[in-house]
Protein backbone atom coordinates (compact mmCIF):
# COMPACT_ATOMS: atom_id res chain seq x y z
CA UNK A 1 0.00 0.00 0.00
CA UNK A 2 1.64 3.24 -1.22
CA UNK A 3 0.63 6.74 -0.16
CA UNK A 4 0.99 9.15 -3.10
CA UNK A 5 2.24 12.07 -1.02
CA UNK A 6 5.30 14.24 -1.47
CA UNK A 7 7.35 11.64 0.41
CA UNK A 8 6.51 8.11 -0.61
CA UNK A 9 5.14 5.96 2.21
CA UNK A 10 4.98 2.30 1.21
CA UNK A 11 3.72 -0.22 3.77
CA UNK A 12 4.08 -3.96 3.29
CA UNK A 13 2.22 -6.73 5.13
CA UNK A 14 2.51 -10.50 5.58
CA UNK A 15 -0.03 -12.95 7.04
CA UNK A 16 -0.14 -16.43 8.49
CA UNK A 17 -2.51 -19.22 7.47
CA UNK A 18 -5.27 -17.79 9.67
CA UNK A 19 -5.04 -14.38 7.94
CA UNK A 20 -3.48 -12.88 11.06
CA UNK A 21 -1.12 -9.99 10.39
CA UNK A 22 2.41 -11.22 11.11
CA UNK A 23 4.62 -8.41 9.82
CA UNK A 24 4.27 -4.79 8.75
CA UNK A 25 7.13 -2.60 7.50
CA UNK A 26 8.05 0.36 5.29
CA UNK A 27 10.90 -0.47 2.85
CA UNK A 28 12.96 2.36 1.40
CA UNK A 29 12.84 0.73 -2.03
CA UNK A 30 9.06 0.48 -2.05
CA UNK A 31 9.48 -3.18 -3.01
CA UNK A 32 7.75 -5.61 -0.64
CA UNK A 33 9.60 -8.60 -2.11
CA UNK A 34 13.03 -7.51 -0.89
CA UNK A 35 14.47 -8.94 2.32
CA UNK A 36 13.44 -7.02 5.43
CA UNK A 37 16.12 -5.16 7.34
CA UNK A 38 16.14 -2.46 10.00
CA UNK A 39 18.72 -0.61 7.93
CA UNK A 40 16.53 -0.40 4.82
CA UNK A 41 13.38 1.13 6.29
CA UNK A 42 12.19 4.39 4.77
CA UNK A 43 9.37 6.84 4.24
CA UNK A 44 8.15 9.72 6.39
CA UNK A 45 7.48 7.44 9.38
CA UNK A 46 9.50 4.21 9.05
CA UNK A 47 8.76 1.14 11.16
CA UNK A 48 8.91 -2.67 11.18
CA UNK A 49 6.73 -4.71 13.53
CA UNK A 50 6.36 -8.49 13.83
CA UNK A 51 3.54 -10.38 15.57
CA UNK A 52 2.99 -13.96 16.72
CA UNK A 53 -0.22 -15.49 18.05
CA UNK A 54 -1.39 -18.30 20.27
CA UNK A 55 -3.60 -21.06 18.89
CA UNK A 56 -6.81 -19.26 19.85
CA UNK A 57 -5.81 -16.01 18.16
CA UNK A 58 -4.54 -14.16 21.24
CA UNK A 59 -1.43 -12.11 20.60
CA UNK A 60 1.66 -13.89 21.92
CA UNK A 61 4.52 -11.53 21.05
CA UNK A 62 5.09 -8.20 19.37
CA UNK A 63 8.55 -7.16 18.18
CA UNK A 64 9.49 -3.64 17.15
CA UNK A 65 12.61 -3.87 14.98
CA UNK A 66 15.11 -1.00 15.01
CA UNK A 67 18.68 -0.47 13.84
CA UNK A 68 19.88 -0.14 17.44
CA UNK A 69 18.03 -3.14 18.93
CA UNK A 70 14.79 -5.08 18.71
CA UNK A 71 12.18 -4.65 21.44
CA UNK A 72 9.93 -7.64 22.11
CA UNK A 73 6.76 -7.51 24.18
CA UNK A 74 5.46 -10.83 25.53
CA UNK A 75 1.78 -11.30 26.39
CA UNK A 76 0.50 -13.66 29.07
CA UNK A 77 -3.04 -14.57 30.13
CA UNK A 78 -4.32 -16.10 33.40
CA UNK A 79 -5.22 -19.79 33.04
CA UNK A 80 -8.62 -21.23 33.84
CA UNK A 81 -8.62 -22.28 37.49
CA UNK A 82 -10.04 -25.44 39.06
CA UNK A 83 -13.54 -23.96 39.29
CA UNK A 84 -13.51 -22.85 35.66
CA UNK A 85 -13.67 -19.15 36.50
CA UNK A 86 -10.18 -18.05 35.54
CA UNK A 87 -11.38 -15.97 32.57
CA UNK A 88 -8.25 -16.67 30.49
CA UNK A 89 -9.06 -13.95 27.94
CA UNK A 90 -10.28 -11.13 30.18
CA UNK A 91 -8.04 -8.17 30.93
CA UNK A 92 -8.62 -7.02 34.51
CA UNK A 93 -5.52 -4.90 34.99
CA UNK A 94 -2.20 -3.96 33.45
CA UNK A 95 1.01 -2.91 35.13
CA UNK A 96 -0.27 0.60 35.81
CA UNK A 97 -4.03 0.51 35.27
CA UNK A 98 -6.94 -0.86 37.32
CA UNK A 99 -10.32 -1.24 35.62
CA UNK A 100 -13.88 -1.48 36.97
CA UNK A 101 -17.01 -2.35 35.00
CA UNK A 102 -20.69 -1.48 35.32
CA UNK A 103 -23.62 -3.92 35.27
CA UNK A 104 -23.85 -3.66 31.47
CA UNK A 105 -20.26 -4.82 31.04
CA UNK A 106 -18.97 -1.38 30.07
CA UNK A 107 -15.90 0.31 31.45
CA UNK A 108 -16.91 2.45 34.43
CA UNK A 109 -13.57 3.71 35.77
CA UNK A 110 -9.91 3.44 34.89
CA UNK A 111 -7.35 4.27 37.57
CA UNK A 112 -3.71 4.89 36.78
CA UNK A 113 -1.65 5.86 39.81
CA UNK A 114 -3.65 8.59 41.56
CA UNK A 115 -5.57 9.58 38.42
CA UNK A 116 -9.06 8.15 37.75
CA UNK A 117 -11.08 8.50 34.55
CA UNK A 118 -14.82 7.85 34.73
CA UNK A 119 -17.23 6.92 31.94
CA UNK A 120 -20.97 7.62 31.84
CA UNK A 121 -23.38 6.15 29.29
CA UNK A 122 -26.86 7.10 28.11
CA UNK A 123 -29.95 4.86 28.15
CA UNK A 124 -28.89 3.31 24.82
CA UNK A 125 -25.43 2.47 26.24
CA UNK A 126 -23.68 5.09 24.08
CA UNK A 127 -20.78 6.93 25.68
CA UNK A 128 -22.12 10.23 27.01
CA UNK A 129 -19.31 11.69 29.12
CA UNK A 130 -15.69 10.96 29.92
CA UNK A 131 -14.31 12.65 33.04
CA UNK A 132 -10.66 12.85 34.05
CA UNK A 133 -8.74 15.20 36.37
CA UNK A 134 -7.81 17.37 33.38
CA UNK A 135 -11.06 17.55 31.41
CA UNK A 136 -14.66 16.43 30.99
CA UNK A 137 -15.91 15.58 27.50
CA UNK A 138 -19.61 15.51 26.57
CA UNK A 139 -20.40 13.55 23.38
CA UNK A 140 -23.45 14.79 21.47
CA UNK A 141 -23.61 13.02 18.13
CA UNK A 142 -21.63 15.08 15.64
CA UNK A 143 -20.16 17.37 18.25
CA UNK A 144 -18.13 17.29 21.44
CA UNK A 145 -17.99 19.75 24.31
CA UNK A 146 -14.75 19.84 26.32
CA UNK A 147 -14.55 21.43 29.76
CA UNK A 148 -11.24 22.34 31.39
CA UNK A 149 -11.82 22.34 35.20
CA UNK A 150 -8.59 24.24 35.86
CA UNK A 151 -9.13 27.09 33.40
CA UNK A 152 -12.91 26.78 33.79
CA UNK A 153 -13.41 27.08 30.04
CA UNK A 154 -15.41 25.23 27.42
CA UNK A 155 -14.27 24.33 23.91
CA UNK A 156 -16.15 22.53 21.16
CA UNK A 157 -15.53 20.23 18.20
CA UNK A 158 -18.21 19.98 15.52
CA UNK A 159 -18.16 17.71 12.48
CA UNK A 160 -20.00 18.28 9.19
CA UNK A 161 -20.08 16.14 6.03
CA UNK A 162 -18.22 17.91 3.23
CA UNK A 163 -17.99 15.91 0.01
CA UNK A 164 -15.30 13.24 0.28
CA UNK A 165 -13.99 14.65 3.55
CA UNK A 166 -15.27 16.12 6.79
CA UNK A 167 -15.38 19.72 7.94
CA UNK A 168 -14.19 20.21 11.51
CA UNK A 169 -15.15 23.36 13.37
CA UNK A 170 -13.37 24.30 16.60
CA UNK A 171 -12.97 27.43 18.71
CA UNK A 172 -9.91 28.35 16.65
CA UNK A 173 -11.29 27.90 13.14
CA UNK A 174 -12.34 25.53 10.37
CA UNK A 175 -10.36 22.56 9.03
CA UNK A 176 -10.87 19.81 6.48
CA UNK A 177 -10.28 16.24 7.69
CA UNK A 178 -9.11 13.63 5.17
CA UNK A 179 -9.58 9.98 6.23
CA UNK A 180 -8.06 6.71 5.09
CA UNK A 181 -10.19 3.73 4.04
CA UNK A 182 -10.96 2.90 7.69
CA UNK A 183 -11.99 6.40 8.71
CA UNK A 184 -8.73 7.26 10.50
CA UNK A 185 -7.77 10.86 9.81
CA UNK A 186 -4.43 10.97 8.01
CA UNK A 187 -4.42 14.66 7.08
CA UNK A 188 -5.99 17.90 8.27
CA UNK A 189 -6.02 21.01 6.07
CA UNK A 190 -6.48 24.45 7.62
CA UNK A 191 -9.32 26.10 5.71
CA UNK A 192 -7.80 29.57 6.10
CA UNK A 193 -4.12 28.94 5.32
CA UNK A 194 -4.48 25.71 3.28
CA UNK A 195 -1.62 24.26 5.33
CA UNK A 196 -1.76 20.45 5.41
CA UNK A 197 -0.73 18.50 8.50
CA UNK A 198 -0.19 14.76 8.15
CA UNK A 199 -0.05 11.97 10.69
CA UNK A 200 0.72 8.28 10.33
CA UNK A 201 -0.55 5.19 12.12
CA UNK A 202 0.41 1.54 12.32
CA UNK A 203 -2.04 -1.23 11.32
CA UNK A 204 -3.62 -1.63 14.78
CA UNK A 205 -3.98 2.14 15.23
CA UNK A 206 -0.84 3.08 17.16
CA UNK A 207 0.84 6.39 16.33
CA UNK A 208 3.68 6.10 13.84
CA UNK A 209 6.55 8.54 13.72
CA UNK A 210 6.52 11.93 15.41
CA UNK A 211 3.17 13.21 16.64
CA UNK A 212 1.98 16.19 14.57
CA UNK A 213 1.59 19.49 16.38
CA UNK A 214 -0.87 20.97 16.40
CA UNK A 215 -3.65 18.50 15.56
CA UNK A 216 -7.15 19.96 15.49
CA UNK A 217 -9.14 17.27 17.33
CA UNK A 218 -8.79 14.31 19.69
CA UNK A 219 -10.11 11.62 17.33
CA UNK A 220 -7.87 8.63 16.74
CA UNK A 221 -8.11 5.19 15.14
CA UNK A 222 -11.20 4.84 12.87
CA UNK A 223 -12.02 8.47 13.64
CA UNK A 224 -13.21 7.48 17.12
CA UNK A 225 -12.73 9.41 20.39
CA UNK A 226 -9.23 8.85 21.75
CA UNK A 227 -8.07 9.60 25.29
CA UNK A 228 -4.39 10.51 25.38
CA UNK A 229 -4.26 10.14 29.18
CA UNK A 230 -5.33 6.47 29.15
CA UNK A 231 -4.21 5.44 25.66
CA UNK A 232 -7.70 4.08 24.89
CA UNK A 233 -9.98 4.66 21.91
CA UNK A 234 -13.75 4.36 22.26
CA UNK A 235 -15.03 2.15 19.40
CA UNK A 236 -18.73 1.34 19.38
CA UNK A 237 -19.62 -0.36 22.65
CA UNK A 238 -16.09 -0.91 23.92
CA UNK A 239 -12.73 0.61 24.77
CA UNK A 240 -9.86 -0.34 22.50
CA UNK A 241 -6.11 -0.29 23.24
CA UNK A 242 -4.14 0.23 19.99
CA UNK A 243 -0.85 -0.78 21.65
CA UNK A 244 -2.17 -4.28 22.35
CA UNK A 245 -4.49 -4.58 19.35
CA UNK A 246 -7.37 -5.69 21.54
CA UNK A 247 -10.51 -4.46 23.24
CA UNK A 248 -10.70 -4.36 27.02
CA UNK A 249 -13.99 -6.29 27.07
CA UNK A 250 -15.48 -9.06 24.99
CA UNK A 251 -17.53 -8.58 21.83
CA UNK A 252 -21.21 -8.14 22.85
CA UNK A 253 -22.33 -9.87 19.63
CA UNK A 254 -21.34 -13.53 19.44
CA UNK A 255 -20.78 -14.97 15.95
CA UNK A 256 -20.60 -18.74 16.52
CA UNK A 257 -20.24 -19.40 12.79
CA UNK A 258 -16.99 -17.38 12.70
CA UNK A 259 -14.40 -19.31 14.69
CA UNK A 260 -11.82 -16.53 14.30
CA UNK A 261 -13.98 -14.19 16.40
CA UNK A 262 -14.60 -16.52 19.33
CA UNK A 263 -11.93 -15.05 21.63
CA UNK A 264 -13.97 -11.84 21.43
CA UNK A 265 -11.14 -9.40 22.19
CA UNK A 266 -8.87 -9.12 19.15
CA UNK A 267 -9.47 -6.24 16.78
CA UNK A 268 -10.68 -7.39 13.32
CA UNK A 269 -9.57 -10.98 14.01
CA UNK A 270 -5.97 -9.68 13.92
CA UNK A 271 -6.44 -8.57 10.29
CA UNK A 272 -6.65 -4.79 10.74
CA UNK A 273 -5.52 -3.63 7.29
CA UNK A 274 -8.28 -5.15 5.18
CA UNK A 275 -11.11 -5.78 7.67
CA UNK A 276 -12.79 -4.07 10.59
CA UNK A 277 -14.34 -5.17 13.85
CA UNK A 278 -18.10 -4.92 14.16
CA UNK A 279 -19.24 -1.49 15.23
CA UNK A 280 -22.52 -0.51 16.79
CA UNK A 281 -24.29 2.17 14.77
CA UNK A 282 -27.39 3.97 15.97
CA UNK A 283 -30.10 4.02 13.33
CA UNK A 284 -31.49 7.29 14.68
CA UNK A 285 -35.07 6.13 15.21
CA UNK A 286 -34.74 5.19 18.88
CA UNK A 287 -35.03 1.47 18.23
CA UNK A 288 -31.49 0.57 19.13
CA UNK A 289 -28.38 -0.14 17.09
CA UNK A 290 -27.72 -2.01 13.90
CA UNK A 291 -24.56 -4.10 13.95
CA UNK A 292 -22.47 -3.45 10.83
CA UNK A 293 -20.93 -6.81 10.03
CA UNK A 294 -19.69 -5.94 6.57
CA UNK A 295 -18.80 -2.45 5.46
CA UNK A 296 -19.27 -1.17 1.92
CA UNK A 297 -18.41 2.48 1.39
CA UNK A 298 -20.15 4.01 -1.61
CA UNK A 299 -18.57 6.70 -3.82
CA UNK A 300 -17.85 9.71 -1.67
CA UNK A 301 -17.28 7.54 1.40
CA UNK A 302 -20.52 8.61 3.04
CA UNK A 303 -22.53 5.38 3.00
CA UNK A 304 -22.25 2.14 4.90
CA UNK A 305 -24.11 -1.18 4.90
CA UNK A 306 -25.32 -2.55 8.22
CA UNK A 307 -27.10 -5.80 8.99
CA UNK A 308 -28.98 -7.52 11.77
CA UNK A 309 -30.94 -10.75 11.95
CA UNK A 310 -34.12 -11.81 13.72
CA UNK A 311 -34.57 -15.48 14.58
CA UNK A 312 -38.00 -16.59 15.70
CA UNK A 313 -39.75 -19.99 15.58
CA UNK A 314 -37.11 -21.38 13.27
CA UNK A 315 -37.41 -18.59 10.71
CA UNK A 316 -34.38 -16.44 10.00
CA UNK A 317 -34.48 -13.02 8.39
CA UNK A 318 -31.44 -10.82 7.88
CA UNK A 319 -32.12 -7.15 7.30
CA UNK A 320 -29.48 -5.08 5.53
CA UNK A 321 -29.69 -1.33 5.18
CA UNK A 322 -27.68 1.34 3.46
CA UNK A 323 -27.15 4.34 5.71
CA UNK A 324 -26.15 7.84 4.71
CA UNK A 325 -23.51 8.57 7.36
CA UNK A 326 -23.33 12.21 6.33
CA UNK A 327 -26.74 12.52 7.98
CA UNK A 328 -26.39 13.03 11.77
CA UNK A 329 -29.33 10.66 12.37
CA UNK A 330 -27.95 7.88 10.14
CA UNK A 331 -30.92 8.17 7.75
CA UNK A 332 -31.73 4.83 6.19
CA UNK A 333 -32.02 5.00 2.40
CA UNK A 334 -31.09 1.59 1.10
CA UNK A 335 -31.95 -2.06 0.61
CA UNK A 336 -33.48 -4.57 3.00
CA UNK A 337 -33.03 -8.23 2.18
CA UNK A 338 -33.75 -11.53 3.89
CA UNK A 339 -31.89 -14.80 3.40
CA UNK A 340 -34.66 -16.22 1.26
CA UNK A 341 -33.90 -13.72 -1.52
CA UNK A 342 -36.73 -11.26 -0.97
CA UNK A 343 -35.76 -7.62 -1.26
CA UNK A 344 -37.42 -4.28 -0.77
CA UNK A 345 -36.29 -0.68 -0.91
CA UNK A 346 -37.13 1.77 1.83
CA UNK A 347 -36.26 5.31 2.79
CA UNK A 348 -36.63 5.11 6.55
CA UNK A 349 -40.41 5.57 6.35
CA UNK A 350 -41.50 2.27 4.88
CA UNK A 351 -41.31 0.04 1.83
CA UNK A 352 -41.65 1.96 -1.44
CA UNK A 353 -40.44 -0.34 -4.22
CA UNK A 354 -38.82 -3.65 -5.12
CA UNK A 355 -35.50 -3.00 -6.89
CA UNK A 356 -33.34 -5.34 -8.91
CA UNK A 357 -31.36 -7.85 -6.87
CA UNK A 358 -28.39 -6.38 -5.08
CA UNK A 359 -25.18 -8.41 -5.09
CA UNK A 360 -24.79 -8.63 -1.31
CA UNK A 361 -24.25 -12.30 -0.29
CA UNK A 362 -25.08 -13.27 3.28
CA UNK A 363 -23.70 -15.88 5.66
CA UNK A 364 -26.27 -15.94 8.47
CA UNK A 365 -26.10 -18.11 11.58
CA UNK A 366 -28.02 -21.38 11.78
CA UNK A 367 -31.77 -20.89 12.37
CA UNK A 368 -33.04 -21.74 15.81
CA UNK A 369 -36.05 -21.17 18.01
CA UNK A 370 -37.26 -17.73 18.89
CA UNK A 371 -34.53 -15.95 20.83
CA UNK A 372 -36.47 -12.81 21.70
CA UNK A 373 -33.74 -10.49 20.47
CA UNK A 374 -31.74 -9.61 17.39
CA UNK A 375 -28.57 -11.41 16.42
CA UNK A 376 -25.99 -10.25 13.96
CA UNK A 377 -25.73 -11.87 10.55
CA UNK A 378 -22.48 -11.68 8.63
CA UNK A 379 -22.41 -9.96 5.28
CA UNK A 380 -19.78 -10.00 2.56
CA UNK A 381 -19.49 -6.85 0.49
CA UNK A 382 -19.98 -6.83 -3.26
Supply the pTM of this predicted model: 0.71
Residue 11 has pLDDT above 70, yes or no: yes
Segments forming the whole domain that contains residue 166 = 97-247
pLDDT at 142: 83
Residue 236 near residue 223 (C-beta atoms within 8 A): no
Q: Is 85 part of a structural domain of the chain?
A: no
Residue 150 near residue 142 (C-beta atoms within 8 A): no
pLDDT per position as a tens digit, 131-172: 999 999 999 878 999 999 999 999 999 988 777 778 999 998
**Rounded-to-integer distance, Cα 76 and Cα 97, Å:** 16
pLDDT per position as a tens digit, 305-360: 444 444 334 444 444 444 444 444 433 334 333 333 333 333 333 333 333 333 33
Strands (DSSP E) contained in 47-133 are 48-53, 59-64, 71-74, 97-101, 107-112, 115-121, 127-131
Longest dimension (CA), the chain: 64
Q: Is 265 part of a structural domain of the chain?
A: no
For residues 141 and 173, state if they share a domain.
Answer: yes
> Average pLDDT in the 25-30 region?
94
Q: Is 267 part of a structural domain of the chain?
A: no
For residues 102 and 219, state if they share a domain.
Answer: yes
pLDDT at 196: 92
Q: What angle do CA 361, 367, 370 make, to 5 degrees?
A: 130
pLDDT at 95: 58
Q: Is 172 part of a structural domain of the chain?
A: yes
pLDDT, mean over the chain: 73
pLDDT at 6: 58
For residues 127 and 223, state if they share a domain.
Answer: yes
pLDDT per position as a tens digit, 247-283: 988 887 777 777 777 778 899 889 999 887 644 333 3
> Average pLDDT in the 16-41 region?
93
Q: Is 367 part of a structural domain of the chain?
A: yes
Q: Is 268 part of a structural domain of the chain?
A: no
For residues 51 and 192, state if they share a domain.
Answer: no
pLDDT per position as a tens digit, 162-215: 777 789 999 989 999 998 888 899 999 999 999 999 999 999 999 999 888 778
pLDDT at 214: 79
**Rounded-to-integer distance, Cα 50 and Cα 373, Å:** 41
For residues 173 and 202, state if they share a domain.
Answer: yes
* Total number of domains constituting the chain: 3
**Rounded-to-integer distance, Cα 44 and Cα 53, Å:** 29
pLDDT per position as a tens digit, 295-305: 333 334 444 44
When comparing pLDDT for 356 and 29, which is higher?
Answer: 29
For residues 198 and 316, state if they share a domain.
Answer: no
pLDDT at 76: 82
3 state SS of 70: coil
Amino acid sequence: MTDKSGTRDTQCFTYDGHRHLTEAWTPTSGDCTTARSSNTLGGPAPYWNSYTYKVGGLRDTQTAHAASADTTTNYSYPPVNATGTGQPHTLTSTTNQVLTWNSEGKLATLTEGTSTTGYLYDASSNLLTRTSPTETVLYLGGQELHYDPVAKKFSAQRYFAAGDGTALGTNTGLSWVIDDHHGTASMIVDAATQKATRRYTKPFGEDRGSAPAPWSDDRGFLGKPADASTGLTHIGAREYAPETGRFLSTDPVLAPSDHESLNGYAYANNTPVTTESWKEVSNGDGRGPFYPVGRIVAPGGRRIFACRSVICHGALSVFCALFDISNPHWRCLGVTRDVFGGESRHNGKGVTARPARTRFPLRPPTPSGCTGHDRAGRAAGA
